[in-house]
Amino acid sequence: MTTDWSNREFPKTLCLFDVDGTLTPARGVITKDMQQTLADLRKKCVVGFVGGSDFVKQEEQLGNDVLQTFDYCFSENGLTAFRSGEALASDSFLQFMGEER
């Protein structure tokens, strides 16, 4: 899969943000001001988020349109990932480590 971000001022720059305590208050929801800031930044470079929570929780925090408003989405510290709204290879932490570990 190739993605073309050549229309952005800095197409080879990825700004990656933590969710809790950066994009949102800890376990809280994103503000309208932060949403606008990210939308403005996304016009200039590639924007993504990463966090330890599962995707469902991140979607609650960042909005139901999260796959459209971010270029990259990394849940469970990267074990679940999306690029341009499409799922990349995925695994859950529990499956990765196994219950006995």
Which amino acids are annotated catalytic? Answer: 18, 20
What contacts 92, CB < 8 A, 6 or more positions away? 76, 79, 80
**Is there a contact between 73 and 81 (Cβ–Cβ < 8 Å)?**
yes
Tokens 């990210």 appear where?
38
Task: Say how far apart CA 84 and CA 45 lie, in whole Å.
Answer: 13
Whether 69 contacts 91, CB under 8 Å: no
Tell me the HSE value of 4 on the side-chain side, using a 13 A CA sphere.
Answer: 2
